[in-house]
Amino acid sequence: MGKNALVTGAAGFIGSHLVDLLIDSGYTVIGIDNLSTGRMENLERAVAGDSFTFVKADITDPDIRSKVPSDIEYIFHLAAISSVKVSIEDPALVHHVNATGTLNVLILARELGVKRVVFSSSAAVYGDPRRLPVTEDTPVHALSPYGASKIAGEQYMHAYREAFGLETVILRYFNVFGPRQAYSAYSGVVSVFINRALANENLIVDGDGLQTRSLIYVSDVVEYTKRAAEVPEANGQVFNVGGNKDIRVVDIADRVLVTVGADCKIRHGPPRVGDVKKSIGSIKRAKSVLGYSPKVSFDKGLQWTIDWYREHM
């Protein structure tokens, strides 16, 4: 018998790659999404097979239990509003989806009697840490309502483990990039730069561009995420999930222009509110407990991502 998993945020960028990996690894997968930013095109491969069921539902729905089957062993909780910018514009909405929604997913997990919940948190919980690279033991300090909502979600994970004995694992993703990442003013830096370069528009770097990002390609992220459910010793732990090295935003812009072969310029705009200056994560713990190191270099991942956008624009 294969394993059964429920993935929230299944139609999103990372969620859809996780769905594909789980199916390839022999899981039967239920994907939940309200399609607010996610797209069914991301799930084309999954829906073509017979190991996947899509449920259009909202994670904040108190009646979500009636929409999913009972025999689920693992929940991968990725659904969220994953934008610092949206959280500055509408903190209450982001709290509702990311904090209350996470509590609702935990209520569901208890009702279903699942074995383990893996929560996709964010490096945004650290704010601007004093010591780099930042380890999982660094105190959290949100710079944006988005960061605060992820800290709240993490605390609910801890509380459910302590109070109800539910197995939980927290993954703090750094900057993830790759195919299927949505492109809008609210998107991640790599997606925005690539799409502007392909459209021959100047790249706008927020502030001086000396802020750094620990970029990790999406296939490495979903491998860590799957292992977080499967490795027994991961229970109760928090893991940074970032790249092997950090890159300055201005250098990301530069690499994108060179790889696309675009003839546009890099311009500087005002610094962004809630923007983290240095995001460098230590991934020692994830490497040792989850037994995996990121395999895809920034340059290779960038080329694959550009190729994908070229095909899908």
Ligand X SMILES: NC(=O)c1ccc[n+]([C@@H]2O[C@H](COP(=O)([O-])OP(=O)(O)OC[C@H]3O[C@@H](n4cnc5c(N)ncnc54)[C@H](O)[C@@H]3O)[C@@H](O)[C@H]2O)c1
Q: Would you please indicate which residues are annotated as catalytic (active-site) residues?
A: 146
The distance of closest approach from Cβ of residue 299 to ligand X in the complex, given in angstroms and rounded to an integer, is 18
Closer residue to ligand X, CB minimum distance, 202 or 224: 224
The distance of closest approach from Cβ of residue 15 to ligand X in the complex, given in angstroms and rounded to an integer, is 5
Q: Is position 122 an interface residue for ligand X (rule: CB under 6 A)?
A: yes
The distance of closest approach from Cβ of residue 1 to ligand X in the complex, given in angstroms and rounded to an integer, is 28
- In the region spanning residues 40 to 69, those forming contacts with ligand X, defined by CB under 6 A, are 58-60
Q: Segment contacting ligand X (CB under 6 A): 27-35, 126-134, 194-202, 206-214? A: 27-35
- Cα Dmax for the chain: 57
Burial pattern 221-257, b for ≥16 Cβ within 10 A else e, equals bbbbbbbbbeeeebeebbbbbbbbebbbbbebbbebb
Q: Is position 102 an interface residue for ligand X (rule: CB under 6 A)?
A: no
| 209: CB partners within 8 A, 6+ apart | 248, 249, 250, 253, 266, 268
- In the list 9, 147, 243, 281, the residue contacting ligand X (rule: CB under 6 A) is 9
State in Å, rounded, how far the first CA of the chain is from the last one.
40
Q: How far apart are CA 2 and CA 215, in angstroms?
A: 33
Closer residue to ligand X, CB minimum distance, 189 or 203: 189
Q: Is position 104 an interface residue for ligand X (rule: CB under 6 A)?
A: no
77 close to 102: Cβ distance less than 8 angstroms: yes
Q: How far apart are CA 38 and CA 75, in angstroms?
A: 18
The interface mask with ligand X, positions 166-205, x = CB under 6 A, is -------x-xx-----x-----x-----------------
CA-based nearest residue to 46, from 7, 79, 16? 16
Q: How far apart are CA 174 and CA 245, in angstroms?
A: 11
Q: Is position 302 an interface residue for ligand X (rule: CB under 6 A)?
A: no
Where on the chain is the footprint of ligand X (CB under 6 A)?
Answer: 9, 11-15, 32-38, 58-60, 78-82, 97, 101, 120, 122, 173, 175-176, 182, 188
